Amino acid sequence: MAVCRELLPHGPSRLVVGSLRRSEAEEAVAKLRREYPDPATEIMPAWGDVLLRGEWQSAPEGVHPRVSVLSEVSQRRRLVADILDELGPEILEASLLYQMILGRTAGLGGKPAQIVIDCVNIATAVAYQNVFQTAIQLEEKIRRGEEMNWPEQVERLLSALYIPQLVRHMQIYYEAMLQAGTNAFVKVGTSGTGGMGFNIPYTHGEERPSRMLLSKSAVAGAQTMLIFLLARTPGGPQVVKEIKPTAAIAWKDIGYGPIRRGGRTMALYDCLPDEARKLTDPGVLAAEGDFGRDTGAVLESVFIDTGENGLFAAEEFAAITTLGQMEFVTPEEIADAVVAEIRGGNTGQDVIASIDASVIGPSFRAGFLRQAALSRLRQLEAEHEVDSVAFEILGPPRLSKLLFEAYLLKRSCARMSMMLEHSPEALAEMVLKDLTDNPRLRQQILSIGIPILMPDGERLLRGPVIKSVDSEHGWVDLTPENMSRWQERATALRAAIRTSLASESSSRIDRSYPSMMAWSDDDDIDVGEIAGWLFNNEERGRRGKD
């Protein structure tokens, strides 16, 4: 809400306010409309669990959508697949997060998000699924020899894995913002411990330091690094920031009334002194059980609403905010930093900029010495009469594929212009003859896990290991279709060389290919440089920042 209030005076055309529960989102929108009765901004609600599919958001009031999904067999299995399978169009388009950013959820009218401000504490949402407790409970059942629904137990464990959930979440974010044309992404992150260290005393009854809290910090840090990578990705949002509070955040409201936890009011139970149970009674120390007497009332008291962290009692708030504990920062201060960064201000509180300023990137010295290393490698190649192409240690298999294909074409043609003098079928036969006549070369390719697809596209030469399941990602492809593709690449690269020579002689052009650096219309096939050029241009894999 603080971010919304900070944004509205700047008059955005529309503001989508999101929350886990529909009632919370609609209440927030109603409150903002009352506070800003005549805004230039269209304010609308959106709701749901952004880690789940859009169709899975209809859980009963007070029941978390994830709990509802895990209780149903087909949905639970689909959830595991959504987390662990390769990201494809079906998973992507079913995601609530994707639908929200593209404006495809109810009431958003198909208008994509130009600016995304993410205040969702994903680190808490993921880490508090508590994979440790899930695993311990499973181990205990195994130890006791209990009959179990094994598929369900395994699915519940898989669905609670932290890093796969976070990676999938950020993959969906990236693809959604790419398709939406989002201009800015700002994350309000967390340290996971309110800025405290391993000695943090605030746990949920587990050991100290708490595995669950440390997991929360680990997930928060992992997300920061993924956002760091997002900021280095060409084509994504131009503005990528993270504001990371390292204190408790308070407050949203102070009042008296029913105490709610996880969307539910806390029932009031009693246990009279003469109903005390012996510590040795079966199950008396279990975390949950049929104990106590429901009074029919709910717990009511004075509270301070801290937002994401829930309701605190007066003395809890006093303890956690005292000097030397978490202390606290107000939502308004965070909102001020968020909006200032979006508007181009320099608050000094953007974590991504801080990491950018402190990492060690490529250096002038390394660039200067690169040619020395390459020269020595060429000397040793000549001395030992070998060509050092690829070992499939660097990876990915596609790199080895491209390097060997370019190398084979170099052996057969030497120059790009010569590649264009032959038909694709003739090129394929020339390369095949070379491989047939040179067993050492063939053996080197097959031995590193790169198979060779024959020109007919139906037969394969392979060794004991294959690193890729298809030609596109890791087979040396001798089909005429692939030879034609290499001819197109040669044509494009030669055109780029000639354009660089015909253009101005300023530093504006990246003269990365050797002939460009030499200001020469030389079309020699330089194997490694061609692969790098393809990754930069055809694959769009260029690094976003130096």
pLDDT of 262? 76
* Domain boundaries, given as residue ranges, for the chain: 1-47, 48-247+326-358, 253-321, 390-537
- Using CA atoms, how far apart are residues 156 and 76, in angstroms rounded to an integer? 8
- Using CA atoms, how far apart are residues 221 and 223, in angstroms rounded to an integer? 5
pLDDT of 62? 72
CB 545 within 8 A of CB 232: yes
- Using CA atoms, how far apart are residues 7 and 21, in angstroms rounded to an integer? 22
pLDDT of 286? 84
- Using CA atoms, how far apart are residues 338 and 223, in angstroms rounded to an integer? 18
pLDDT of 508? 62
Q: Record the pTM.
A: 0.88
DSSP states along 149-212:
-HHHHHHHHHHT-HHHHHHHHHHHHHHHHHHHT--EEEEE---SSTT--TT----SSS-SS-HH
Q: Per this entry, what is the length of the chain?
A: 546
Q: Which of 213, 130, 123, 132 is nearest to 169 (CA)?
A: 123
pLDDT of 518? 59
Q: Name beta bridge partners: 461.
A: 452
Please report the sign of the dihedral spanned by the C-alpha atoms of residue 365, residue 367, residue 371, residue 377: positive
Render the burial of 93-129: b for 16+ CB within 10 Å, e for the rest. bbbbbbbbbbbbbeebeeebbeebbbbbbbbbbbbeb
- Using CA atoms, how far apart are residues 360 and 84, in angstroms rounded to an integer? 33
pLDDT of 497? 82
Rg (CA), the chain: 30
pLDDT of 522? 76
**Which stretches within 285-438 are classed as H helix?**
314-321, 331-342, 351-358, 364-384, 397-413, 416-419, 424-437
CB 185 within 8 A of CB 170: no
- Using CA atoms, how far apart are residues 467 and 488, in angstroms rounded to an integer? 26
**356-404, pLDDT tens digit by residue?**
999 999 999 999 999 999 999 999 999 999 999 999 998 789 999 999 9
- Using CA atoms, how far apart are residues 76 and 157, in angstroms rounded to an integer? 11
Residue 546: helix, strand or coil by DSSP? coil
- Using CA atoms, how far apart are residues 176 and 102, in angstroms rounded to an integer? 7
- Using CA atoms, how far apart are residues 39 and 135, in angstroms rounded to an integer? 51
Q: Which of 59, 207, 78 is nearest to 132 (CA)?
A: 207
Phi, psi angles (nearest 5°) of residue 41: -105, 135
Q: Name beta bridge partners: 320.
A: none
- Provide block-wise average pLDDT over 10 residues at a time, the chain (546 residues): 95 95 93 89 95 92 88 96 97 98 94 97 93 90 89 94 97 98 97 92 79 94 98 94 96 94 88 90 85 93 91 96 95 97 95 95 92 95 96 91 96 92 96 96 96 96 94 96 96 86 69 67 87 90 80
pLDDT of 97? 98
DSSP states along 217-275:
HHHHHHHHHHHHHHTT-TTS-SEEEEE---SEE--SEEEEEE-EETTEEPEEEE--GGG
**39-89, pLDDT tens digit by residue?**
789 999 999 999 999 999 988 877 889 999 999 999 999 999 999 999 999
